[in-house]
């Protein structure tokens, strides 16, 4: 059974930031995760694009304030592909 979008995003974040899965929540953000800097933000964007086959605009990327927002963004892009 495929994991939910949120679960998949959490897994990606766990890999990219090197943090155990349990510690990643919807509220996890650059404020709560120490090595979530601009380069890591880019890495996260690329991993999301690669995994879900979506393309993120600069406006989308700005809206990625926390993991919950990232998952919501992915769902929105998947339901209405550009």
Q: What is the binding site for other proteins (CB under 8 A)?
A: 11-12, 14-16, 18, 21, 39, 42-43, 45-47, 49-51, 55-58, 61
Is the CB of 61 or the CB of 69 nearer to other proteins? Answer: 61
Is the CB of 4 or the CB of 55 nearer to other proteins? Answer: 55
CB of 39 to other proteins, least distance (A): 6
Q: 61 in the Ramachandran plot: left (φ > 0), alpha (ψ -120 to 50) or beta? A: alpha
């Amino acid at each position: 059974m495929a994991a939910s979008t949120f679960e998949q995003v959490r897994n990606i974040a766990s890999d990219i930031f090197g943090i155990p899965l349990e510690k990643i929540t919807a509220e996890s953000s650059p404020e709560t995760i120490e090595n979530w800097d601009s380069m890591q933000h880019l890495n996260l964007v690329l991993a999301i694009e690669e995994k879900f086959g979506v393309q993120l605009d600069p406006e989308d990327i700005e809206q990625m304030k926390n993991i919950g927002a990232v998952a919501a963004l992915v769902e929105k892009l998947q339901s209405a592909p550009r």
